[in-house]
Amino acid sequence: MPFVRYETLDYFSEYCIKGSGGQKTYAKGYFFSSNWHKEPEIILCKKGVASVILDDREYTVREGNIIFINSNVIHSINVLTDLSFYCFHIDSKYLQESFPDARESFFIEYIERDDKLAELLINTSKIYNGNAEQKAVRLKIMFLQLFLMLYENYKPDSIAPTSTSKAYARVKNAISYIEANLSGELTLESIACSVGINKYQLSREFKSATRLNVFEYINILRCKTATALLKNGASVTDAAFACGFKNLSYFSRTYKKYMSTLPSKNKNKEE
């Protein structure tokens, strides 16, 4: 189903507790690292409490709340209590074909409660995970209904400017540089140089956009990436060095700090 997908979870899957109908559950204290993408994302909270950060805007999300993450907005989630949610990404090309002005569209990000919209998302989840005839057609109809509802009820009077500001563009470029060089040596100076500013300005802008300092972000990303490698059969040593850790003792301490367990505990149990 190329035009719609659930959150793929990537290296987040180790925290996923079995859920029903595509609903995912995450333990208190889990943190989704800051990221962005062209595809709009829709989240419906089914249980728990989380802090959701969209650029410089922060929302406390509870059961029944809906978050719409607009295209290219930097976002992260801090799980405050055990959290369950439905999550969809909508392909930008499909959206533009269905709604020609979608490229310029910006929807209200936080919807406190809309039972009709929530029901539509839950039913879409059931179709996505089911075996209904004409599944692709049914999903397209559901998302046409969804975006028609958003256009009619949740177009803001003004658009938040931060996602296109120079500072946020630099943070996005810094994150891209970190991801591309995760296995190598990363310094504040090298990252700052890659985006054309000094390390002090980088530190301020990065913390403002992500709520993490640069090295907290790097370590969390390295640990999550290491987890994916471990679950795919890599040894602790190989996973550590592949993710940029040069010292196994430091890797174990850092992994324990951010993942609340030792890397050996996340090894593929089939080995």
Token pair of 165, please?
A: 């500001």
Predicted TM-score (pTM) above 0.75: no
Are residues 96 and 215 both part of a single domain? no
Residue 158 one-letter amino acid: S
- Domain harbouring 200, CATH code: 1.10.10.60
Q: How does pLDDT run across 212-264, given as a tens digit for each residue?
A: 899 999 999 999 899 989 989 999 999 999 999 999 999 999 999 988 889 99
Q: Report if residue 50 sits inside a domain.
A: yes
Q: With beta carbons less than 8 A apart as the criterion, state whether 174 and 195 touch.
A: yes
Q: Residues 30-64: pLDDT tens digits? A: 677 788 887 889 999 998 999 999 988 899 999 99
Which tokens belong to 59?
């929302």
Q: Are residues 46 and 146 in the same domain?
A: yes
List, for residues 151-164, the tens digit of each pLDDT value. Answer: 899 988 766 555 55
Q: Is 2 exposed, middle or buried (0-12, 13-18, 19+ CB in 10 A)?
A: exposed
Least confident window among 53-57, 75-79, 121-125, 266-270? 266-270
* CA-based end-to-end distance of the chain: 33
Q: 95, exposed or middle or buried, with CB in 10 Å at 0-12, 13-18, 19+? A: buried
The crossing angle, in degrees rounded to 10, of helices 214-231 and 248-259 is 100
Residue that finishes a domain, picked among 126, 153, 180: 153
Based on the fold, state whether residues 251 and 139 are members of the same structural domain.
no
> Do 88 and 219 lie in a common domain?
no
**End position of a domain, from candidates 153, 179, 199:** 153
Asked if the structure places residue 8 within a domain, the reply is: yes
Task: Please check whether residues 104 and 136 belong to one and the same domain.
Answer: yes
Q: Say if residues 25 and 17 touch (Cβ distance below 8 Å).
A: yes
| Rounded distance between C-alpha atoms, residue 179 and residue 222, angstroms | 9
Domain span at residue 206 reads 163-266
